[in-house]
Chain A
Amino acid sequence: MASNDVRQWRTATLSSLVPPGKPIRVVHGNTELVLFREADGRCRALVDRCAHRRAALSGGRLTDQFAIECPYHGWRYNGATGACVAIPNLRADEKIPKNYRVQSFETLERDGFIQILMGTGDTSAEPNDVAVPILDRQWEGERYLAYPEVLFMDTLADSPSAILEISGLRIRDDHPIGDPVVTGDQISIEYAADRIRSASLHAEHVVEDFRYTVRISATKSAARITVIDNDTAEVRATALIVAVPTGARLTRALWRGAEAASSATSFTIECREHVEPTPVRAATNVVSRIWARTPPPVAAEQS
């Protein structure tokens, strides 16, 4: 029977964090995954739990045939199907039952990120757009924050300086440029920003014109950050930040950024080491309230 559920692509990690020849553990929500690459570099994803005694497959190794071998008893699994393909010491006449397997997931590697198709359903949604323009300088990074992922994007939209660190730039959370615009599941909001040095020079004065704008276009799982030079309307730097839920209390932030080398001033957009409490305390949370109250688009009635 057909299901109405739609499987979703979830951005799980950066491509660079899955090296050849070594399995790694990634948690998405409450699902633990082991990711590894086959001979041709293709990334495979399995549930990180051996079907035998639930040991972590990510603690194991890759065999010459690019099966993953459990570190506890050596059961081996095929990366594409999750089927158990070898159990040590079995006799030649002993066959491994077909149901001896772990769940496998379809993967997609694109634009420096690895996405995994998760959930149930007969159809799957479109992959996430995680492209970052190729500019003169690129960077990427990851960081764990002891902060619930369900709050991450709301906090980013309400008080971006609590989460974002843009080198040399101070974001003025108290100075939004216009109202947020909600389109579908996405919100866009702009904030004024100034060089840190200029901000300290003018600390005693009311500043009415700012050199830079920080634009945030966010869904609940990813945000595109853009730094615009207001003098020239030029995009100076851009970055995509993905929030990966890691259990209920941790967020794993992944980012990739790029900037043009048009001047000596560099703006590296990254995630802070922790969520700064002061901007969160000062926030009025107007943006997230508008985001929450805006109903999602209504699907057209079927005739």
Chain B
Amino acid sequence: MAAQFESQSSFVAAHQNTEWRPGTFALQDAWFPVAHAPRVTNKPILRLVHSRRFHIWRGESQIHATDFHPGTKRGGSITAFTDAQGNYPVIERYGHIWVWYGAADRADAAHMPDIPFLHRDAPQPDYACGVNFFHTSYELVLENILDLTHIDFVHGSYAGTSESREDSISFESTSETVTMIRTILGRPTSAYQRDVLGVKEPTQDATAFTHVFIRSGVCFLHSHYSTAPSIPLMQSNTPESVSLTRANYVFGVQQTDHAEYAKAWPRTASIIAQQDESVLNPQSFRYIGQPSRPDFSTRFDAAGLHYRARHKALMERQKRGDFSYLPDVAEGSDLAEILKIKRLS
């Protein structure tokens, strides 16, 4: 069973001095959704995962991902990441092109998330998709995503202020995933919900789910509001390099019948990303290449610290040559249950 935690001070005290060196180790053996499928045509595009180059294009009958541009002659030595012809494992699913970063002979489609709010064999409409870039390592992006208290300060205009009748956080994790759940009662309706979405109620209750996959950085977010419709989000958080994270995003707009809302909400993605970038960008060079130093934490940081601990455990296993998925991985894979959303028929 997945480990379950209430946010607690003892956990924070035990883990806040854990060495945290984002950008120093490339976790492998995972599927990375590097491109929205409609972006891939017969003209090759370049995508990166941990600085490894993936040239991707659409052939007559299949998608190709290679370690060389198809217009050039392949050079360099073959690595375990490709077959003998330089082909990476690649799959088109859920409107994304997924590449396997790791030993090619260990690629297994079973390790791909099952995404209940996306069509398995068709992309989402254009307005529901997009991309943002964060100029920092993907570990810091994931920490940001698991960090709910920054929302009050960085995204207050969209999420409402920090005042609420009750605000509790719990989280659970497996060896591959971390899930955080925040329950808020009596929170003031945000300016965006009021002015753009036309929500009349002055306060609302909300339950926000955040689920991250540690190896790939893929995350899923969904908030249930008592006064407004809800739309789940998938964001790729692909580590292109230690200082650049690609965040391809797609909204599960079919989860609401409110057509205007379905079109309005995805437009917030770039604004929210800019708000996050304003704090993530300066954070980056204070971690990358800097001597290790402890960060101080509170109980509100328990989910992020837990992510650090899980990331470290995975990293240490991979350093020992163990790239396997442990049996508990199944418990973090049912997104319909984790996000409490209906599965697309």
Interface on A for B, CB 8 Å cutoff?
Answer: 49, 51-56, 59, 70-74, 84, 87-90, 94, 97, 99-100
Are B154 and A71 touching (Cβ within 8 A)?
yes
Known: A54-B283, A88-B149. 14 other contacts (CB 8 A): A51-B295, A52-B295, A52-B296, A52-B298, A52-B301, A53-B143, A59-B278, A71-B153, A71-B278, A74-B152, A74-B153, A88-B152, A89-B149, A90-B298
Q: Are B295 and A53 touching (Cβ within 8 A)?
A: yes
Contact, CB under 8 Å: A72 / B154? yes
Please report the C-alpha to C-alpha distance between residue A123 and residue B157 in the assembled complex, in whole angstroms: 49
8 contacts between A and B (CB under 8 A): A56-B279, A56-B282, A59-B282, A72-B154, A72-B279, A74-B153, A84-B296, A89-B162
Q: Which residue of B lies closest to A69 (CB)?
A: B153
Any A CB within 8 A of the CB of B254:
no
Interface size classification for chain B:
20 to 34
- The secondary structure that dominates the A interface is loop
Q: Which residues of chain A are near B295, meaning CB under 8 Å?
A: 51-54
Select which of A59, A74, A100 is within 8 A of B296 by beta carbon.
A100
A88–B287 CA distance with the chains assembled, in angstroms: 24
Min distance, Cβ A156 to any Cβ of chain B, angstroms: 30
Residue with the greatest number of chain A CB neighbours at <10 A, chosen from B162, B279, B295, B297: B279
**Residues from chain B with Cβ under 8 Å of A59 in the complex:** 278-279, 282
Across-interface contacts of A89 in B (CB, < 8 A): 149, 162, 167, 300
**Does B73 belong to the interface (CB within 8 Å)?**
no
Which residues of B from 284 to 306 have beta carbons under 8 Å from A? 286-287, 295-298, 300-301
Instruction: State how many angstroms separate the Cβ of A125 from the closest Cβ of chain B.
Output: 27
CA distance A74 to B156 in the complex (A): 12
Cα A55 to Cα B298 in complex, Å, equals 16
CB–CB A54/B152 < 8 A: no
Asked whether A55 lies within 8 Å of B162 as measured between CB atoms, the reply is no
Q: How far is the CA of A84 from the CA of B296 in the complex (A)?
A: 11
B150: interface (CB < 8 Å): yes
CB of A247 to closest CB in B, whole Å: 10
Query: Which residues does chain B contribute within 8 Å of A100, judged by CB atoms?
Result: 296
The residue on B at minimum CB distance from A53 is B295
Whether A73 contacts B150 in the complex (CB less than 8 A), given A55-B282, A59-B278, A59-B282, comes out as yes
Kindly state the separation between the CA atoms of A210 and B79 in the bound complex, as whole angstroms. 72
A71 vs B150: C-alpha distance when bound (angstroms): 8
Does B283 lie within 8 Å of A55, measured CB to CB? yes
Give complex CA distance A84, B147 in Å.
Answer: 20
Of A49, A73, A89, most buried by chain B (CB within 10 Å of CB) is: A73
Residue in chain A with minimal CB distance to B298? A87
Chain B 134-172 interface mask (CB, 8 Å, partner A; 1/0)? 000000000100010110111000000010000100000
Say whether, besides A49-B286, A88-B162, A100-B296, A55 and B152 are in contact (CB < 8 Å). Answer: no
Give the shortest distance, in Å, between A228 (CB) and chain B (any CB). Answer: 46
Instruction: Give the Cβ gap from A73 to chain B, nearest Cβ, in Å.
Output: 5
CB < 8 Å neighbour of A54 from B150, B287, B298: B287
Contact between chains at A52 and B297 (CB < 8 Å): yes
